Structure 1
Amino acid sequence: MPDFGNALYTIVAFVVALSIIVTVHEYGHYIIGRLSGIKAEAFSIGFGPKLISHTDRRGTVWKISAIPLGGYVKFLGDANAASAGVDEAAMSGLSAEERRHTMHGAPLWARAATVAAGPIFNFILSIAIFAGVMMWSGTAIDEPTVGTVVELPGGAGDLRPGDRLIAVAGRPAATYPEIEDAVAKLPSQPTLDWRVARDGQEIDVTGPQLFPPRLAGVAPQSAAYDAGLGAGDVVTAIDGAPIWTFADLQDRVKAADGKPLDLSIWRPAKTGAETLDVTLTPRRTDIPTATGGFETRWLIGATGSFVFEPETRMTTPLEAVTGGARQTWAIVSSSVSALTHMISGKISSCNLRGAIGIAEGSAAAAKGGIDDFIWFIAVLSTAVGFLNLFPIPVLDGGHLMFHLYEGITGKPPSDAVMNFLMAIGLTLVLSMMIFGLWNDLTC
C-alpha cells in the first residue's frame, strides 16, 4: 500500500505539472492562430477518447481527453492533430475566403507565428513564474542584515533579526562578498565572533557559522533524497567525526570517493527536534561549470545556504522580469551544453531522463511544498519549449524549418517529401523517448 500510494502521488503530480505546461503551450498555438485569422476546430488537453467537452461560439470544441500525456490544437484543414498533412476533402469544399482561415491556406507569416507561439508561451510561463517568485521573496538589501536565523542544534547564538554585519573574526565584512571571503579563510569551528550594528551601537556577539552543514534543499533522485533527507536537516557528524560547516560536508563527501558515509542528522520538528542516523553513498554527478563546461564530482545531492535569511526589499517588476528571463536562458544554455557534451561523450548519457524521471521529479517537488512545485513547473516549461524548437519534423521546430524552406523557395515541400520527413521525425522522437525511459530504468 505505501508503494501504491507513492506511485499514485507521483502520477498525480506529473499529470498536474504536465497539464499546466501543455495547456499554456497549446493555448499559445490557439490564440496566435485565432488572432492571425486561422480557425481552430478542436483544443484538447490529453489524447484519446474525450471525457468532457464544450463547443464555444466560434465552433471550437474544447475538451479534456482520457490520456493526459500531452495535448493538441486541430486547425481547420488539418489532416490530423499534429498539423501534418492537409485534409484534401475538407479543403476542396472551401471557398478562397474560407481557405484563408485554414492552417494550410493562411499566409506564411500567420502559419509561422502560430507554430512558434507554443514554445514562446512556454518561455513566457517560465519567466512569469520566476519573476513572481522573485517578487514574492524579495531582493536582499545591499547591507548584510539578518532577517531570520535558521534552526540549528545550538540555536542562533547571540545573532538577532535586524543585526547588520560589520566584521567577522576581526576581519571587516560590510558586504556579502567580503563576509564570504573572510569566512572562507577561517578554520572550521563551531562558532564565529561577529561584530554587528544593533540599536545604533556596534557590539561583539558569538554566532553560528555562516554556512552551517544544514541542507537548504535536496535534489530529486539523489543519494540524499533516497536516504530520506530533506530541507532543514543538519548534518552534525560524518562517520562519528563532528563537522561544523557545509564545506566540511563537501570535503568529506569528496574524500569518500564513492564509499558509503554514516551521517548523524539533527532534524527540527514542531513537537521537538529529533536525531537520526542514515547511511548513504555519494554518486558521480556531472554538474555545469561557470565557463559552460561540465565537471564530474561525487555528490549527495544537497545544497547549503547562509545561517540566516537576509533582510530583503521589494523586487521591482523590471528586476523580476529581467531575473526571470536570465533564469530561463540559463536553463536553455545549460541544456544545450549538456546535449553537446553527451553527444561528444564527455559526460554520461544518463543525464538524459525520460517520462519516469520527470514524474519522479514532479513528485519530489510537490512533496517539497507548493513553492518547489511551482518552481519545478517553470523549469519543466522551459525544457518543453526548448525541446519543441528542435528542428525535427512533428515538433514545432520541424514545422518552422518547413516554413523557412517555403519562405526561401516560394513553395512548401512536396507531400511525398513531407510524409517522409515526418516519418523520420516521429522515429527520432520515439527513439529519444525510449532512450530516456531506458535511462530511467537502468541509470
Structure 2
Amino acid sequence: MAADATDLPADVIAAARTDAANRPAASLPAWADRLIWTVLWKIVAVGLAVAAGLWAIGQLSHFLGLLGIALFFALAMIPGVEALTRRFGMRRGAAVGIIYLAALLVVVLLVVVLIPGIVRFAQEVSSAAAVWFEHLNTWWEGMFGSPLLDQGDATDETSALAKLVQQWASGALGAVSSGIGAVFNLMTIAMFAFYLAADWPRVMRAVMSRMPPERQRVFKWVATTSIEQTGGYFYSRLLLASVCGGLGFVAMLIVGLDLVYALPLAMFMGFVSTFIPFIGTYLGAALPILITLAVVGVANAIGLLVWVLIYQQLENYALSPKLSSKTMELNGAVAFGGAIAGGALAGPMGAFMALPIAALITAIIKNTGRTYAVIDEEVAADEEPVEEPDEPGALRRGLTRIGSLFRRPRD
C-alpha cells in the first residue's frame, strides 16, 4: 500500500494536501450533535403541547366559565353551610340542600309573582304611552313655552316605546320559559356548586396534600380570605337588595303607583341598585321615577325622588358601613375599575363577580411581599394604621356578624 501511495502523481498529492489544509480543524463531537437534536425535538414537543393546550382551553372555555361561576357561588354558600352545621349539627350536604331549597322557593315565588306583573306592566305601558307623552308635552310647554314633541313625533315615539316594551316583556318571558341551553348551564353550575360546597374540607385536603407545609399555610390563608370576601359580599348584597326593594315597594305604593307597577319596579330597583356598583343606585331609581312621573304626576315623582335620596344616605351611612364595609375591604377606585373590567370580560356576571375577586387580589397584595417604611414625613403622616394579621380583622368581624343571622337568640 505504501508503494501504491508513492506512485500517485505529484499534482494529486498536492491537491489532497491543500484540501486537508482548508478543511475545518475538527467537527462537532457526537454528544453535542445528539444534544442539539434533543433540544430541537423538545422545543417542537413543547410548542405542540402549548398549541394543543390552547386549543383545548378554547374548546372548554364555556365549561371552564361555568366551573368558575360554580366556584364563586360555592364560596358564597360556605359561610351559610358552616353556620348551619355549627348551629344544628347537620351534615354539610344537608345544609347545602336547605340553602338550595330556600333559593328554589324564592325563585318560584318571584316567577309566580313577577311574570303576571311583567305582562300587565307591558300592557299598561303600551296602552297608556300616548297619554304619558301628552302629559309630558303639556308639562314641558308650560315650563318652557313650546312643546317637546309635535303630534307626529309623539305618535312615532309612542309606537316605538310600545314596541320596545312589548319586545322587552317577550324577551323576559322567553328567557324564563324557554332555553334548553340555559337550563343545562344552570344545572351544571348548581351541581358543581353543590359538590364544592358540600365537600369543601375534602377538596382542601386533596389540594393541600400536594403542597409543602409553608405553601399549605399560604394556600389556606388565600382560601379562607376568598370565602370571607365572596360570602360576605354575597350575603351583604342580598340583604341590601331585600331592604332596598322592600322599602322601595312601600314608597311606590305611598306615592300612588298601582301594584302592577310597584312590584316589578321595586324588584328591579333593589337588584340593580345593589348588585351594580356605584351607578346602580341611579339606574335603579331612574326607571321608577320616570314611570311615576308618567303615570301619577310630577309631585308624586318628586316625592319618590326625595325618598330615593333619603334612602341613599341611609344606605351609605348606616346600612353599608355595618354590612358591606365590614365584609369587604376595597378601595373605591379599585372597585369601580374591577367592575368595569369584569363587565368587559364576562358581561353582567363578570361585573357581579368582580368586586370580591378584586378584594381578594387586594388582600393578597397587601399581605404578601416585602414592604418598607415610608421616609417622607408628610406622606407617612397620612398613612392609616394597619391591623396586625393575628388579630381578627374587619373581614372576620363582618362574617361573624352575618353568621349571627343564622343563630337562635339566647334567652
TM-score bin, normalised by smaller chain: under 0.3
**TM-score when scaled to structure 1?**
0.23
Greater helix share, structure number:
2
Greater strand share, structure number:
1
- Which is greater in Rg? 2
